[in-house]
A and B are shown apart, each in its own frame.
Chain A
Amino acid sequence: MYNHKKKEYKESNVNYLNKDFFSLRDSLINYAKTYFPNSYKDFNETSPGMMLIEMSAYVGDVLSFYIDQQYKEMLLPLAEERRNIVKIANMLGYKVKPIVPASAPITFTQTVDADTSDPMNPKPNYSQTVTLDKGIKLASTTDTTLFFETTDVVDFKYSSSLDTITVAQTDEDGLASKYNLTRNIMAVSGETKTITFTVSQPSKFLKLSLPETNVSSIIDCVDSNGNKWYEVEYLAQDKVPVSTYYTEDTSRYNDDVNASAYNGYSDESGNLVVEEIAIPYSLEYIKSGKRFVTEVNENNITSICFGNGILKNGVAQTSDFLQTEQVGFTVPGDIQDLANYVDPALGDVYSTLGETPNNITLTVRYRVGGGLNANTTAGTLNSTPNSLPFIGSPSTATITMTNNEPAYGGANTEDLSEIKERARAFFTTQNRCVTKEDYEARIMNLPSQFGKIAKVYVERLAAGITAPGLLQPLDFDNSNQFNSEDIANMETDILTSINDGGITPELQTKLGALSNFAQTIAGAYNTSNTESNFIPTIRAHILVYDVNGNLHGNPLIGVNSPTSTADVPDTLFKNLKTYLSRYRMITDEVDLVDGFIINFGVLFDITAQRFANKQEVKIKCINKIIDYFDINTQQFKQPIFVKDLEYELGGVDGVRNVNHITVTQDYDYQLYDNPPASFEFGGTNGLYKYSIEPSQDGVILNANGLDGYGYKYDFKEAFEDGVIKPSIEPAVFELKNPFENVKGIVR
């Protein structure tokens, strides 16, 4: 290897890191001293030569500044110009909002007569209820320039756990004669405006700018042919989410069930089964070339931008696969006859960015308004509009409205720091579900119109045991694994049968299990089977709230009886599956199942302080326990810390000592070793309806318990060191009917 002698090379004294004026000047002086010692010697600041050197340094300084500036403006954390920050945010997928509208929950109230068909059990007469379309314009009573518009349908025809029913009037017998039904609907600040654009000759990536600067959203865009153009996040997005209200959803008419927010089925006997949870909207993705994106520039001008696909005049889009730009044309190198020769690349190249309008008039409705001023106070949105947009026949029903809470969230144009932070957050989330936490967050994010999820637990299923239900029948040696031992086991049976000259019952059973397995796989690979759950990699356990705010869901009933009303509504699962299809990884197969509910009661024994009112202390303790087990705070696989509860009760006024607390479904196992004849809870049964009992075939589901409760759980076994351990199967502990199921003694 050749060794360079150090002295053979003279190090340059040009320093490439000097980038400001003074460094460059010093560098040039050194350079002149080194390389031109006899040509120039006067480095006094006043000399003309120094003036020339300083001018050169100045040019270098300016160039360095612009290089630094340009590099800095390319990086989101360092950029300072709004124009650049907006562009970088767009590049990361975040769209800057020109203005943020305020939103306020509006409480609509309709008064209806009582349905007295059952005189002892009057209820609201739902036949008098009405449905109001979205977009009801509400004027503020304090600011004449401020308007709000509802974003959802106000439907009094169904109720959910969030809605309240109160008695408005009673008759002379004290029975309810009128009811007030309330619905809470979100409204956003702003006013709808309409503009039309006439497009003659088509042009690629047509951009149409709206005249206002404070556009909060595009409501819709319809062309003169009646076609709807959909807003998408990016032009390459060819699937557009479309939500359909049940009144317009023809699929809700299946099985002779009238249109209703409650989905219905016919069971095996042909009887109508209606789900208990209302799901007003159905979600589906449609494929459409008619789409656009919105852009906001640094001056807060909103533009709508279309794709590059240009349809030839008179050519209609009849297929999902569309070679928009080339229909009717011969492109050099491409084949014209698409009916016979289809180049799969053409669709990707030319049509996935969507169409551009061609010789039509576009009508765009958009909402303008928002900002800090829109955060109006409570009770200011209570003026009823002159006319209400009834769905169905108009009604003279009395409907009042108000905002019981102040409007919130309204903000002016995002400042630079906000854009940077939100763009960063948007990029980090990527809108993709990868980890189980991603799935949980995404599932909880399902818009409530498609079904309100109460609890969710997601597990990623390990390879090899991905479908225990599928592989379990083949686990002949009960090793909890399907492996070579099971195959050898069956081979032995086959050889025995051949030698004996007849098939043994054991082999018959095993062959049956194998046949079932093969049929399941065949079904999974059948492309027409859209409901296939073959080898899921993600399993989400889900529970919803019923109208009373209690948890609702039953995994085992749902399996055996798909039309049961005891499980999570199928419409919700369908919506959720559609919703997740856009976010899940292509390799993930999501299985949606109900979660288990375990109900329980609480027994407590405390000693009160000497002069305390024992009755009052008892009520306080019961309320403390109810608050502690608030269902909103309970999650799947969450243990119950009894010691923690003791600490909470110890803090109640008047409590001197907490003797013991027992969380149980039936009896106080801390006092009795063996179950007494009658339990503290649930009589002789306990607070459960379903129990999974061992049987000859493995396990059997027993459903003979107390109606309205969940699954049996051995609290005595699960109690250890002051903690009730959660079950292996994902379940939520629920304190149901708390005023019945919290009992205590105050000594």
Chain B
Amino acid sequence: MAIIDKSKTAFINDNDENIFIGIENKFIKGDIEGWFKCTKTTINAVKENIRSILKTEKGERIMQPNLGIGLRALLFNPVDEGTNILIQEEITGVIAKYFPFVTITDIEVNDGGEDAIGKALVQVKIGFMINNNPNLLDTVDVEFEGEY
């Protein structure tokens, strides 16, 4: 289960440049932090984590068969409102389960427009905030793609 930040002064570590929170989703070498480039603020770490779980299919992770989301299964559904609602429900459910400290403010689902010609493409944009700091808003953009 998710680990909830129960510190009395939330995100105090975000103020320190030398304290790292998590690892960025793309494994690239960091400047000072070592072999992996790290996130330095909590909001960035949450953003990376949301991106990570939205890119993870259920069953992919070793020993965690329920971790992930089933969006790829919806890629070949008709582009209509019903599919959009299914995608939104999937995302809402997963984030509620693994990020109980996060509130979703908005979910936009696009069919990709011209970019989606010749392929199955879904673009998702999620707006969210961390409950401890409602003033801190951010968005995550994720694309799901499948070849015909």
B2 beta carbon closer than 8 Å to chain A: yes
Contacts A54-B62, A58-B63; A48 near B2 (Cβ below 8 A): no
Report whether A45 and B63 are in contact in the complex, using a CB–CB cutoff of 8 Å.
no
Partner of B1, one of A40, A45, A47, A61: A45
- Contacts A39-B34, A42-B45, A44-B2 given: A49-B62 contact, CB under 8 Å? no
- B71 close to chain A: CB less than 8 A: no
A366 CB → nearest B CB, Å: 51
Of residues 6 through 55 on chain B, the ones whose CB sits less than 8 Å from some CB of chain A are: 13, 16, 18-25, 27, 33-34, 36, 38-39, 45, 48-50, 52-53
Min distance, Cβ A676 to any Cβ of chain B, angstroms: 96
Q: B22 touching A38 by the CB < 8 A rule? A: no
Report Cα–Cα, A51/B34, bound state, in Å.
17
Decide yes or no whether A46 CB sits under 8 A from chain B. yes
Q: Which residue of B lies closest to A38 (CB)?
A: B19
Evaluate contact between A49 and B63: CB separation under 8 angstroms.
no
Does A316 interact with chain B (Cβ within 8 Å)? no
Q: Which single member of A39, A44, A48, A55 contacts B62 (CB below 8 Å)?
A: A55
Whether A44 contacts B20 in the complex (CB less than 8 A), given A39-B34, A58-B62, comes out as no
B98 at the interface (CB under 8 A from A): yes
Determine whether the beta carbon of A41 is less than 8 Å from that of B20.
Answer: yes
User: A45 vs B3: C-alpha distance in the bound complex, in angstroms?
Assistant: 8
A45 & B48 in contact (Cβ 8 Å cutoff): no
| Complex CA distance for A534 and B19, rounded to whole angstroms | 92
Residues of A within 8 A of B63 (CB): 21-22, 54, 57-58, 61
Task: Flag whether B67 is at the interface (Cβ < 8 A).
Answer: yes
Q: Does A315 contact B (CB under 8 A)?
A: no
- In the assembled complex, B64 has its CB within 8 A of some CB on chain A: yes
Considering only residues 57-106 of chain A, those with a C-beta below 8 Å from chain B are 57-58, 61
User: Which residues 16-52 of A have a CB within 8 angstroms of B?
Assistant: 21-22, 38-49, 51-52
How many Å lie between the Cα of A61 and that of B63 in the bound state?
A: 10
Once A38-B19, A40-B20, A41-B13 are accepted as A-B contacts, the answer to whether A47 and B45 lie under 8 Å apart by CB is yes
Q: Does B125 contact A (CB under 8 A)?
A: no
Bound Cα distance A41, B33 (Å)? 13
Q: How far is the CA of A38 from the CA of B67 in the complex (A)?
A: 27
Shortest Cβ distance from A34 into chain B, in angstroms? 16
Contact B33 A39 (CB under 8 A): yes
Q: Determine if B20 and A45 form an interchain contact, defined as CB atoms under 8 angstroms apart.
A: no
What's the nearest-Cβ distance from chain A to residue B45, in Å?
5
B52/A46 in contact, CB under 8 A = yes
CA separation between A501 and B19, bound complex, in Å?
120
Residues in chain B near residue A40, CB distance under 8 A:
20-23, 38
A235, B43: Cα distance in complex, Å: 75
Given known contacts A39-B20, A41-B13, A42-B22, A47 and B61 CB-to-CB distance under 8 angstroms = no
Interface centre among B22, B27, B61, B98 (most CB of A within 10 A): B22
Please give, as numbers and ranges, the residues of chain B lying within 8 Å of A39 by CB-CB distance.
20, 33-34, 38
Bound-complex Cα distance A44 to B25 (A): 14
- The answer to whether A46 and B33 have CB atoms under 8 Å apart is no
Contact between A54 and B22 (Cβ–Cβ < 8 Å)? no
- Nearest-neighbour CB distance to chain B for A19, whole angstroms, equals 14
| Chain A neighbourhood of B48, CB < 8 A | 47-48
Evaluate contact between A47 and B23: CB separation under 8 angstroms.
Answer: yes
Given A45-B98, A46-B49: A38 touches B20 (CB 8 Å cut-off): yes
- Report the separation of the CA atoms of residues A48 and B52 in the bound assembly, to the nearest whole angstrom: 7
Is A46 in contact with B67, judged by CB distance below 8 angstroms? Answer: yes
Q: Which of B16, B21, B50, B64 contacts A42 (CB 8 A)?
A: B21
Residues of chain A contacted by B50 (CB below 8 angstroms): 46
Contact of A46 among B13, B24, B27, B98 (CB under 8 A): B98
Q: Is the CB of B3 within 8 A of A43?
A: yes
How distant is the Cα of A46 from the Cα of B102 in the complex, in angstroms?
13
**A48 and B98 in contact (CB under 8 A), knowing A54-B62, A58-B63?**
no
Bound Cα distance from A21 to B34, whole angstroms: 26
Q: Which one of B25, B27, B34, B67 lies within 8 Å of A45 (CB-CB)?
A: B67
Residue in chain B with minimal CB distance to A39: B20
CB distance from B59 to the nearest CB of A (A): 14
Of all chain B residues, the one with the shortest Cβ separation from A40 is B20
* Chain B residues with CB under 8 A of A46: 2, 49-50, 52-53, 56, 67, 98-99
Residues in A neighbouring B19, C-beta threshold 8 A: 38, 41
**How many Å from the CB of B74 to the closest CB on chain A?**
20
Complex CA gap A39/B34 in Å reads 9
Interface of chain B residues 60 through 111 with chain A (CB within 8 A)? 61-64, 67, 98-99
> Would B18 and A38 count as touching, CB distance under 8 A?
yes
Q: Are B22 and A47 in contact (CB under 8 A)?
A: yes
Closest to B27 in A: A48
Measured between alpha carbons, how far is A51 from B99 in the docked complex, in Å? 16
In the complex the two chains form, what is the Cα distance from A57 to B121 in whole Å?
A: 35
B85 to chain A, nearest CB (A): 23
Q: Which residues in A have their C-beta under 8 angstroms from that of B1?
A: 45
Q: Which of A422-456 contact B (CB under 8 A)?
A: none
CB-nearest residue of chain B to A59: B62
Q: Which residues of A line the B interface, CB within 8 A?
A: 21-22, 38-49, 51-52, 54-55, 57-58, 61
Closest 7 CB pairs of A and B: A42-B22, A46-B53, A49-B23, A46-B49, A58-B62, A48-B23, A38-B19
Known: A44-B3, A46-B56, A48-B52. 18 other contacts (CB 8 A): A22-B63, A38-B16, A39-B38, A40-B23, A41-B13, A44-B99, A45-B67, A46-B49, A46-B67, A46-B98, A47-B45, A48-B22, A48-B24, A48-B27, A48-B48, A52-B23, A54-B64, A55-B62
Q: Which residues of B contact A (CB under 8 A)?
A: 1-3, 13, 16, 18-25, 27, 33-34, 36, 38-39, 45, 48-50, 52-53, 56, 61-64, 67, 98-99
Task: Name 10 A/B residue pairs within 8 A (Cβ), A-sorted.
Answer: A22-B63, A39-B20, A45-B67, A46-B2, A46-B53, A48-B25, A49-B36, A54-B63, A54-B64, A61-B63
